[in-house]
C-alpha cells in the first residue's frame, strides 16, 4: 500500500449504480459501482461546482429506430450533474460534450480483500 492509496470502505457499502460521496484528505470524492467494477473522481462539477454525487448515473443515449424508445450504451459509466445536466465519463472524467475542455479528475480504483481502494497519486 502506498501513502496515496485510500481505503474507501467495504465493497458491500456501495450500491450498484448509485453515486456515493466520501472524503479523502478532506476532499470530496465520487465513487460509483458498476457490478464488480468501481469508478472514482473528484466530486465537483467543473461548470459551477455541484456535487456529482447528487447526480444520476446513466449511460450514453443512443439512437433508436422509429417507434422505439432510445436505449443506452455504456450504462452505469456516465454521471450527469444535478444542476445543469453536464455529463461526465466515469472512466476518464471527461465531459461527454467537450472532453478536451472540461474534465473532472478521475482516480484509479482497485478492489482488494473485499474493500475499495482509491489511488490519488
- Least separation in angstroms between residue 112's CB and ligand FES is 32
Contact residues toward ligand FES (CB under 6 A) are 45, 47-48, 50, 81, 83-84, 86
Dist CA 35 CA 50 (whole Å): 26
| 80/116 with CB nearer ligand FES | 80
- Least separation in angstroms between residue 49's CB and ligand FES is 6
- C-alpha cell of 79? 454521471
| 55/76 with CB nearer ligand FES | 55
Residue the block writes with cell 449511460 = 59
The sheet that has 115-119: what strands, in order across it? 5-10, 115-119, 106-112, 37-42, 27-34, 20-24
| 10/49 with CB nearer ligand FES | 49
Closest CA to 33 of 54, 19, 53, 23: 19
- Least separation in angstroms between residue 27's CB and ligand FES is 17
Amino acid at each position: 500500500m502506498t501513502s496515496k492509496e485510500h481505503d474507501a470502505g467495504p465493497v458491500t457499502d456501495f450500491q450498484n449504480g448509485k453515486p456515493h460521496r466520501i472524503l479523502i484528505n478532506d476532499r470530496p470524492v465520487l465513487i460509483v459501482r458498476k457490478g464488480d467494477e468501481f469508478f472514482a473522481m473528484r466530486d465537483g462539477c467543473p461548470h459551477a461546482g455541484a456535487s456529482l454525487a447528487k447526480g444520476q448515473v446513466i449511460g450514453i443515449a443512443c439512437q433508436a429506430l422509429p417507434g422505439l424508445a432510445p436505449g443506452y450504451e455504456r450504462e452505469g459509466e456516465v454521471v450527469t450533474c444535478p444542476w445543469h445536466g453536464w455529463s461526465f465519463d466515469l472512466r476518464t472524467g471527461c465531459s461527454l460534450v467537450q472532453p478536451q475542455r472540461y474534465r473532472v479528475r478521475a482516480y484509479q480504483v482497485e478492489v482488494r480483500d473485499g474493500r475499495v481502494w482509491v489511488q490519488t497519486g
